[in-house]
Amino acid sequence: MVAQLEWARTSRRPYADTTNQFGIRSNVGETIALFGPSGAGKTTVAHLLLRFDEPTRGAIFIDDVPLRELDADAWRSQLAYVPQAPHLFHASIADNLFFARPAATPAEMERAARDAHLHAWGMTLPERYNTVIGEDAARLSGGQAQRLALARAFLKDAPILILDEPTSNVDPELEAQLRDAVTRLMCGRTTLLIAHRLAALYRADNIVVIQNGRVVETGNHQMLLQRGGVYQKLALGAGMAHA
């Protein structure tokens, strides 16, 4: 189990709007939310943690060990990543789920699908879990693709979770189901939440407000409201200042 994640003045600047001098710390089981405008560097931080990119300066530490010293595949086995646009294969629903953990049993796969509110829909399909979907979810709605991605994360059961706010681009009637699934998926896991809406930030242990690739504020929802800075201005604009 990973005890601590730490970004120590990490920098990744191939473009002007990406992460620069970024430093945060997360303990096991905590939820860290990244919040800021589009292009602020939120997704770059996720890519650094996933080792899709490497810092040009500084380092990410896992239990005081530089992330770059860990085997990339072994490290990624400890992560579950749910992006806004999940990558799905032109294969059956079952194959897409088992990709997360090939040794899982059919019963474990079904339980993960139930946890993600995917099972009921899957049972309406002619071939159920053997139904083939198009590459990158071409034959699925946004909500169906997100539920499949969440089910894959449930099945992987990794200790660290990276969520690119999977409830932000779905039909309103599905949002409550997805929010329930996300809440249960986060339970007991160290979570990095890339938030696009203030409403997603209430339960975060620490909110990191980013502008132009820099951390401008950190704290929980109530602390940041009381501080009177960037977060409070955004909250006032969204009608959340008294939440």
Q: Are residues 164 and 243 in the same domain?
A: yes
In single-letter form, the type of residue at position 176 comes to A
pLDDT of residue 144: 87
Residue of 181, 231, 242, 236 lying closest to 206 (CA atoms): 231
Residues of the chain with pLDDT under 70: 1-24, 136-137, 166-171, 237-243
Q: What is the pLDDT of residue 9?
A: 45
Dist. CA 183–CA 203, nearest whole Å:
9
How many domains, in total, are found in the chain?
A: 2
133-173 pLDDT, tens per residue? 977 667 788 888 889 999 999 999 999 999 987 666 566 77
The domain of 92 spans 88-157
Helices (H), the chain: 42-50, 72-76, 93-98, 106-115, 119-122, 142-156, 172-186, 221-227, 230-237
Q: What is the pLDDT of residue 84?
A: 82
User: For the chain, first and last CA: distance in Å?
Assistant: 34
Distance of CA 224 to the CA centre of its chain: 22
Query: What CATH number has the domain bearing residue 183?
Result: 3.40.50.300
Token pair of 7, please? 């970004």
By the 8 A CB rule, do 34 and 194 touch? yes
Residues 3 and 27 occupy one common structural domain:
yes
Position 83 in a domain: no
Count CA within 13 A, CB hemisphere, residue 51: 17
pLDDT tens profile 194-221? 987 777 788 899 999 988 777 889 999 9
Shared domain check, 166 and 153: no
Look at residue 59 and tell me if it is in a domain: yes
From the CB of residue 131, how many other CB atoms can be counted at a distance below 10 Å? 14
Strand pairing class (22-27; 214-219): unpaired
pTM: 0.84
